[in-house]
Amino acid sequence: VTSSDQLQWAWREMLSYRNVATATHNIVAYRYFDSKGVLVADNDDDGEDRAGSNLAQLLSHKCDNVLVMVSRWYGGIHLGADRFKLINRAASTLLDECGWGNEGRGNAGAQANVGSV
C-alpha cells in the first residue's frame, strides 16, 4: 500500500472474506511512505493486547509499503504468551512467501500479494 485509499480498500477487501470477517481477532499493522515521502505506520490489536504493536515492530525490520493482517480464532484453549509468537510467525512466513524475505526492504517491489498461513 502506498496511500490511505489503498490501505482502506485492502483492509475492506480482506474483511470481505467470510472466514476473516468471523475471526475473533484480526490483528493489523501497516507501514508505507505517502506521496510526500512521509512515513505512515500504525496498527490495530483488535482486542488482542499488544499484538498489533508486535506486528508493527516486525514490519519496521522487514518492509515498507505493506499491510499485514493476521486473523485468529479463539478455540477454547488459552495460548498465553505463545499466541504472540504464533501471530508473528504467521506474519513473518507470509511476508517471506510474498518476497520480502530476511534480506531487508523492497524485495517485493510493487507486486500485490494475497496469501494465508
Reported as half-sphere exposure (CB side, CA atoms, 13 A), residue 82 has a value of 4
Report the pLDDT value the prediction gives residue 100, as an integer from 0 to 100. Answer: 79
pLDDT in tens, the chain (117 residues): 999 999 999 999 999 999 999 999 999 999 999 999 999 999 999 999 999 999 999 999 878 999 999 999 998 888 888 899 999 999 999 999 988 765 444 444 333 444 443
Q: In Å, how far are 35, 37, 76, 77 from 28, measured between CA atoms? A: 22, 22, 23, 22
pTM attached to this predicted model: 0.82
Residue 20 and residue 13 in contact, taking contact as beta carbons nearer than 8 Å: no
- State the residue for C-alpha cell 490511505: 4
